Structure 1
Amino acid sequence: MKEGRCYEQHDFQVLILSVFNKRRPSTEKEKWELQREYLRLIDRIPQMWEEFVQKHKNIYDRFGYLDVIVHDDLTYERKKLKRGRPKEEKTREHRITVRLDDELYELLQKYCRTKNLTESEAIRELIGQLKYKIW
């Protein structure tokens, strides 16, 4: 079994043939049979690719590629998409929305540029400094 990302027919062909080439003949007859099968496979791959792209047209149009799994018996399938963003170790459960006037917003932007932070990172950093202040 082998997985790969296929942007076009050539990538698909390389993936299929790399699995096919793992086969090793033990006799002279098997060698000739494998060569014939190889040639038939080369002729069939363009059609296989077109059918595969048509079957998964919505995914191919959205991403411009298909992740393919080719099994040892040369059957192939689309690798399932993973859903959503990976979980972070420390999740942030609380969301706060704040309105700022122009002066405070420019101050925040200047701070972000000097520290090379996003607005959210800068606000978290500034709030984190509050725990060191004595009330």
Structure 2
Amino acid sequence: MMAMMEGRCYERHDFQVLVLQEFGKRRPRSPEETKRLQEEYLRLLEEIPRMWEEFVEKHKNIYERFGYLDVVVHDDLRVERKKLQRGRPKEEKSKSYRITVRLDDELYELLQKYCQTKNMSESEAVRQLISELKWKRF
């Protein structure tokens, strides 16, 4: 599996820190490699502003909407946008059961009027009416 860094970048400085952290994982094994890495580091410092501008331009709609980009920097210093998560976040106390109920016209109209007067959805109304059963004796 490839090593990589992930981070949220609001501006070029955040992007630079992320790229340089990934670059900093490289360890030289010889004096020649140390010199090569130092040269590459200086070249990278000059290159990062252009990389950031191109990256923002490529993902302009996301950056303008959120004001940041979630970035993935691979060990070979390729950068890509982390994909947005889809779907609604899980509720802390999720509803596990789903029921379907058929109603005749009269009951449906009654439910609609109740929902309008209480300003709630049909699901909320049914939950509320069922929860009132807790206090009644059978």
Which residue number corresponds to residue 59 of structure 1?
62
Which residue number corresponds to residue 116 of structure 2?
99
Structure 2 unaligned spans of 5+: 100-110
Which residue number corresponds to residue 21 of structure 1?
24
Residues in 1 aligned to 2:76 and 2:61: alpha-carbon distance in whole angstroms = 27
Which residue number corresponds to residue 108 of structure 1?
none
| Correspondence for 2:87 among 65, 84, 88 | 84
Structure 2 residue 41 is the aligned partner of structure 1 residue 41: no
Residues in 2 aligned to 1:77 and 1:18: alpha-carbon distance in whole angstroms = 16
Structure 2 residue 11 is the aligned partner of structure 1 residue 11: no
Which residue number corresponds to residue 104 of structure 2?
none
- TM-score, normalised to structure 2, is 0.73
Aligned residues: 118
SS at 1:99 equivalent? helix
Aligned AA for 2:75?
D
Change (3 A) 1:92 1:85: farther
What is the Cα deviation at residue 130 of structure 1? 1.9
Residues in 1 aligned to 2:125 and 2:98: alpha-carbon distance in whole angstroms = 18
Per-residue CA distance 1:65-120 (angstroms, 9 max, x = gap) = 000000000001000111120345425757x65122xxx78xxxxxxxxxxxxxx9
Which residue number corresponds to residue 112 of structure 1?
none
Change (3 A) 1:92 1:62: farther
Which residue number corresponds to residue 114 of structure 1?
none
Residues in 2 aligned to 1:73 and 1:59: alpha-carbon distance in whole angstroms = 25
